[in-house]
Amino acid sequence: MRKFGSHFFAKGSKSVAALFAMCVCLSADAFAFDITSFNTLQTASPSTIEQVEVEHPRFVIRDVVIQSYGGLEQPTITFTVKNKSAVTISKIYLTGVLKDAGRSVPLASQDFDLSVPGGIQPGEQKHFNLDASSYGDWGNVTKLALRNARFILTLTAVDDAKGVKIVR
């Protein structure tokens, strides 16, 4: 038997000690890899916002029937946000503009932000239906004005899971 530190090992235990040391080194490398990939997922680069898409933006006026009041018109903004980035999104910042082809001043224009309960994880998408009457001039737009109008919705920034704002 050989003395190693304060322990005694049998003659063939040299390979056991080497195997143990190799396992410790490999697990340390694996741990470092896990930490590195974790940091990569949580760090937002400026290109992150370029990987977040707003799809199918629409501004519509829906007819809503409420028994005690009769028919009402409800302006609604609908869109889908698709997160192709590696960062979880907790809040989105948007600019909406409704333009009539024959006018230089928009029918409605507003910057707004939305907190996203549960966030939008990497690879996920979420659909939104917003009551537009609570945002600026959207409630004043008529169905007649919508005939020649074009709705533009632009993503201007997002917050990651820690609340850090990532700007376009």
pLDDT at 124: 97
Segments of the chain scoring below 50 in pLDDT: 1-10, 13, 16-43
pLDDT score, position 89: 95
pLDDT of residue 159: 95
pLDDT at site 132: 85
> Beta partners for 107?
none
pLDDT computed for residue 35 by the predictor? 39
Say if pTM beats, i.e. exceeds, 0.75: no
At 133 the pLDDT is: 80
What amino acid occupies position 18? A
